[in-house]
Amino acid sequence: MQRTFEITRTSRKMLSQFLEKHTLEELNAIPEGFSNNLIWNIAHIIVVQQMLVYKLSDLPMKISDEMVEKYKKGTKPEHKATQAEVDEIKALLTETIDQTETDFNNRVFKSYQEYPTSTGFTLKNAEDAMAFNYFHEGLHIGVMMGIRKFL
């Protein structure tokens, strides 16, 4: 699991750089041809990791229900994120992974509700969820690189 967390932290550093290098207006912009924006992708990544690892393990997620409702699979940006929301999302990028690693080290993930992903891979435990998660994050970073070209 050590390598999984190293890869995830690398991904999260890249995501944090998007937050640092773009204005609030740019983070909220939805370029023509896209259905979402930079900040939605980043928050979505956090929400999906929490749902795949914690919710499917029947454990409380480290994010609010409101955040889940705004950024879960199947949603799209319905509002402009405020600077306070951006700051919270930035903090959650590292806090959620730090807590997940602590929880893995403390062996809190005991049960898991199997989940077939839309890519055809079935997650059978929290370890599978974390491995799949960095694939998911990579997909969204690719989308974000595309969005960035049009800002």
| Six-digit token string for 122 | 């079935």
pLDDT band at 66 (very low <50, low <70, confident <90, very high): very high
**pLDDT tens digits, one per residue of 98-129:** 999 999 999 999 999 999 999 999 999 999 99
Element (H, E) at 116: strand 115-116
Helix, strand, coil % (nearest 5) of the chain?
A: 65, 5, 35
Give burial (CB, 10 Å; 0-12/13-18/19+) of 89: buried
- This prediction has a pTM of 0.96
pLDDT band at 59 (very low <50, low <70, confident <90, very high): very high
